Amino acid sequence: MRIASFLGLAATACVLWVSQAHAQRVQFPTKLPLNSATTPSGWGSTYPVAQNPAAGGYSAPPPAAAYQYPGSTYAPPPAAPPAATAPPGAAYGANPAYQAPNYTAPGYPPPGYSYPPGVAPGYAPSGPTATFQGTITAPPAVGWDPYATPGVQAPALLPSDPYLPGAPYWPWPPGGSYMQTMQRFMDEFRVDYTWMPGNGPEELGMHEADLSVTFAIPFLHNPHTPLLVTPGFATTWWNGPSPPHPPNPELPSRLYAAYLDSAWNPQITPVLGGELAARIGVYSDFREVTVDSIRYQGKGCVLLSISPNMTVKAGVQYLDRQHIKLLPAGGLIWTPNADTRFDIIFPDPKLAWRLHRIGNVDWWFYGRGEYGGDSWTVNDPGGVIETDYNDFRVAIGLESDNPGRLAGYAEVGYSFEREIYQNGAASMTPNSTVFVGAGLSY
């Protein structure tokens, strides 16, 4: 009876030992090393090292000896020393004294920081709760600057930046909120200059200089389509015609234009947009200014995007000149790729190809056309006469495009179909001529 009981107990112990041994062979794969004391790949060199090594813990039982075929010289590897039996719930390859590193994922506050009451994790944390030299405690209020002079900081005039949605807890949510486009007030400072040579009975030389400053004013809560206000001043020097007697008109040597331009380019939907502009200015030789010296100009166009790289434009342009008051404006804007742009637009077409990029500066080669000229009042011995200068211009040039920085262009062109228009009729048709132009903007 005792022998049977002893044999039964021995059999039960063997079954339990075999079941436990088979259960310990089951392992689930993981993407990260289990309790590894080395830095995982791609996490940088600041990953904390454990205080206790990860090796030296419980290990699985040694594998069974490999079967040796008859006549083979293969010898199984020596058996490993007996390992300690792992308690229930323990994992192989882990040292029970090893502690997992206190790693903080990017975008989350480091240990010791606290969130303001009612704020979800992920917001910018408040200042640390440590003390400065043991006497001054950093207030846990939002917006505390840990690098400022210790003591009570003066409150800001605005508790949050109106251009920061969700301020002062920015960014939140990660990837879902972003700082809006900051539009600088002085959007552009620009200088343009054109020279047309000429000095003779049928020639008219010209120098044109235009100085303008554009200010961007937020409009209808959309920083991407601000109201552009541009005051400017232009001077035109005329050389000729010589001699200034009939049939050649007597023209002043200098003409001026002081103007105020406003423009708004709304984008109503991703498909429908527009271009609106209006200008008022005084155009005269400034020897005598009359009501006729004040001119009103404007433009209105509708833009319809029919594909991601093709837009149709249609509208009108009001010039307020004697000869031509109103012109149709429109055409097709086509960008077949990022390095090509075709503005097939009347009356100012332009075709441009990007040549090279150096840093943030794009260099473009272009060809363009223009309906040029302007209108002024001229103080003549017989009274004030409205005088137009009209021509057609074509040019090729090189321009640099550097958003927010210094940019410019240089070009050479040809002016033809030139005319001086006075008293409702053409008083002179100067010869065609070449011209050069240049400009800078910031």
What is the Cα–Cα distance from 103 to 111, expressed in whole angstroms?
10
Token reading at 212: 């303008």
Token reading at 310: 């093709």
Q: What is the pLDDT of residue 177?
A: 40
User: What's the mean pLDDT in 43-56?
Assistant: 40
- Whether 203 contacts 433, CB under 8 Å: yes
pLDDT band of residue 383 (cuts 50, 70, 90) is confident
User: What's the mean pLDDT in 254-268?
Assistant: 95
Residue boundaries of the structural domains of the chain = 101-180, 186-441
* Three-point CA angle 199, 203, 204, nearest 5°: 80
User: What's the mean pLDDT in 23-35?
Assistant: 38
pLDDT band of residue 298 (cuts 50, 70, 90) is very high
pLDDT band of residue 184 (cuts 50, 70, 90) is confident
User: What's the mean pLDDT in 323-336?
Assistant: 95
For 267-294, letters b (16+ CB in 10 Å) and e give eeeeeebbbbbebebbbbbbeebeeebe
Total length of the chain: 442
What is the Cα–Cα distance from 162 to 227, expressed in whole angstroms?
19
What is the Cα–Cα distance from 221 to 239, expressed in whole angstroms?
49
Q: At the top level of CATH, which class does the domain 186-441 belong to?
A: mainly beta
To the question of pTM greater than 0.75 for the whole model, the response is no
Tens digits of residue pLDDT in 407-436: 999 999 999 999 999 888 888 899 999 999
Residue with tokens 């490993």: 80
Token reading at 329: 């404006």
Beta bridge pairs of residue 210: 192, 234
- Other CB atoms within a 10 A radius of the CB of residue 37 amount to 17
Residue among 193, 230, 196 at smallest CA distance from 209: 193
